[in-house]
A and B are shown apart, each in its own frame.
Chain A
Amino acid sequence: MQQANAPVLQQATPALTLRGVSKSFGAVRALANVDLDLRRGEVTALLGDNGAGKSTLVKILSGVHPADAGVIEFDGNEVSITSPTAARDLGIATVYQDLALCDNLDVVANLFLGREHGTLLLSEEAMEERALELLHQLSAKIPSVRTAVAALSGGQRQTVAIARSLVGEPSVVILDEPTAALGVEQTAEVLNLIEKLRDRGHAVMLITHNMADVHAVADTAVVLRLGRNNGVYSLADATAEEIVAAITGATDNTVTRRAARRPRHPSTDRPTNPEPTGEATP
């Protein structure tokens, strides 16, 4: 296990370390002995097929479910994450796929929901100033921080959700399928945001199904399969085929067979376009 999952990059102490984390729901073993390292200034993609245990892992880290067994270390200290508040206080922020924004409230109110500035009265000005600062750091394009979130586009809403996760200056930011519901342009914007998060020094965990996103922004890919670790890959060396093979659990699968049918370009190792046959004119 240790050899197979030896971290690819060893340059810094991980912000968050999981060792042997397990979780069962009744008779179903959702996670078995999972290891994970998240480092600051690095994007770690968490990959896996449906049912691989990605969501369960996210829920353990964000305090929705406690782990049954295993050790979670935060900055080298063993911690237990018992509630969403505990996760937030530790500095683990999660951006859920459904974003969980209040449509009727404006951007500022959403950013600071549950941790408003001010003691007796809200100090709107302090919050608005901080909101502008955060959105500026993310180079976000929001028409006004005083518009209701309902009036924003999908990408803008995603931006607000990500900016909200930064309000408490967390060490770890978990993004659950951030591009799943977005178009091409908005996906690119969110990928830019993820790079901004990395450059800000957060340890970013990206859960996604989209291999293009993984190759675009991730430094490391951690693959789960049927609730177990199935490899840790540095995106600098690993090919897409290796990672897909780890996700599906076989080197011979529909994805590789599809790829094999198409000839590869010798220098880029990418499938080339099929030779023009002459009958199909553009």
Chain B
Amino acid sequence: MSPTSATSARPLHSQGERPAQEAGIAGSVRGFASRVRAGDIGSLPIVIGLVLIWGIIQGLNSSFLSSRNLVNLATQCAADGVIAVGVVLVLLVAQIDLSVGSMSGVASAVLGIGLTSAGWPLPLAIVLALAMGALVGLVYAVIFVRFNVPSFVVTLAGLLALLGLQLQILGKHGSINLPFGSAIVGFMQRMFVPAGLSYVLGALAVALFIGSRLARARRRRAAHLPSGSAVTLFVKAGLLLVGLEFGCWYLNMTRGVSLPFMLLVVLVMIVDFLLKRTKWGRSVYAVGGSVEAARRAGIKLWRVYISVFVLCSTLAALGGLMSAGRLSAASISSGTGDTNLNAIAAAVIGGTSLFGGRGNAYSALLGIVVIESIANGLTLLSLTSAVRFMITGGVLMIAVIVDSMARRSRAAHGAA
């Protein structure tokens, strides 16, 4: 066979340069365990945490894991989850945007005024709100790059300015109800993936996964590189398929998979792809890892910062539009309160490091599911916002401690 003969003709992999990954399922499990011990923990704590949280809440209130409640939970995740995706990007370059909540509030105010007193068509209102987000992100990035002001301060100032802008836009209204027949309200409140289609989409996602892995294995064989075991791939794909189809089936027992949640999932997949497979993504991680190394490698830092801040603010605006649609209202309290904290906490809880360079798009999804599970569960248990805030704060603190401990463990293993 050509792959084997090619490998034996070029003995590169037998001379200490061989990838450390071991063959087979047992090998990948062992590799995972040793990565965890070395502090490369990824999303492991969050998965454990999520199982614990779901178990505890389910033990206290048996309707938590009911199909009806999980359908709600998924929809609740969508808006803040979209914002969290943007926060992940900013955290990856070791910066922060504290104004995502205010930005989402401004976007919802623009939508509210646009659809009612200004009488704009919905697409115009959406485009204007998103453009506003992009502009705000651009301003942040320019101030950050040009004047070297820490992003924490720039966006803190932005938080206040945007809050003022939101009050200004809403003016004397204070609160605006969106027309109930508006498409965005329908999208956020009443649109679900048809049951049959949801199974097809699940299968399609798995097919896409297998296809991309097989294509990669083929490219690696063509480049005389070890290509991993097909058995492991199909076991993973099988588990994924069972998980996805079971999830769809369970949600389909009541209303099914909501479109806003699908939007979040698709967005996460797209951002993940961009981060992992493009030069832009590579430069985002490089800047987060070492600004100086990235600069010397010829990466144009300002481009990376601008792209990341613009994406973050635009996604914050999109999240604001979604939450306005879900509440079918825009008010002076939109985007205030816990939106900001939820989105930032979700990114960190999901496993994106505050220190930059480590994390991925999926951490936004995982993190927001944890946060909304707590919020949803505590509401089911008839606990007040007071308790909810304290518990969410505690979970965030634990996540940050885990992040710092993992960092220290990497240092202890000579890997920080």
Contact = CB atoms under 8 A, between A and B. Distances in A.
Interface of A: 84-85, 88, 96, 98, 100-105, 109-110, 113-116, 118, 120-126, 128-129, 132-133, 135-136, 140-148, 150-151, 153
Interface stretch (B78-86, B122-130, B137-145, B292-300): B292-300
B19 A146 contact: yes
B197 interface: no
A128 to B, nearest CB: 6
Contacts of A123: 219
B279 A150 contact: no
B297 A135 contact: no
B361 to A, nearest CB: 16
Contacts of B224: 129
A249 B18 CA distance: 50
Interface in B299-333: 299
Contact of A118 (B38, B279, B298): B279
Contacts of A124: 216
Interface SS majority for chain A: loop
18 contacts: A85-B298, A88-B298, A103-B290, A105-B285, A109-B282, A113-B299, A114-B283, A114-B299, A123-B219, A128-B223, A129-B225, A132-B225, A144-B17, A144-B18, A144-B20, A151-B38, A151-B415, A153-B414
Contact of A125 (B17, B219, B296): B219
Contact of A143 (B20, B283, B296, B415): B20
Contacts of B13: 132
Interface string B14-26: 0111111100000
A146 B220 CA distance: 14
Nearest to A118: B279
A150 B416 contact: yes
B286 A113 contact: yes
Contact of B293 (A100, A116, A125, A153): A100
Nearest to A125: B223
Q: Which of A120, A123, A125 gathers most chain B CB within 10 Å? A: A125
Contacts of B38: 151
A146 B20 contact: yes
B278 interface: yes
Given A84-B298, A129-B223, A150-B410, A100 B20 contact: no
Contacts of B298: 84-85, 88, 114-115
A263 B93 CA distance: 60
B279 A136 contact: no
Contacts of A136: 12, 15, 17
Contacts of A85: 298
A104 B358 contact: yes
Interface SS majority for chain B: loop
A119 B299 CA distance: 16
Contact of A102 (B15, B222, B293): B293
A100 B296 contact: yes
A143 B16 contact: yes
B294 A135 contact: no
B402 to A, nearest CB: 17
B282 A122 contact: yes
A143 B19 CA distance: 7
Contacts of B216: 124-125
Contacts of B358: 104
A135 B357 contact: no
A137 to B, nearest CB: 10
A150 B353 CA distance: 15
Given A100-B293, A105-B285, 4 more contacts: A104-B358, A125-B223, A129-B225, A150-B415
B146 interface: no
A113 B304 CA distance: 14
B42 interface: no
Contacts of A132: 12-13, 17, 225
Contacts of B225: 125, 128-129, 132
Interface string B153-182: 000000000000000000000000000000
A96 B292 CA distance: 11
B19 A145 contact: yes
A126 B15 CA distance: 20
Contact of A126 (B17, B223, B357): B223
Contacts of B285: 102, 104-105, 109
B410 A122 contact: no
B351 interface: no
Contact of B278 (A84, A121, A141, A150): A121
B260 interface: no
A125 B227 CA distance: 10
B247 interface: no
Interface in B215-238: 216, 219-220, 222-225
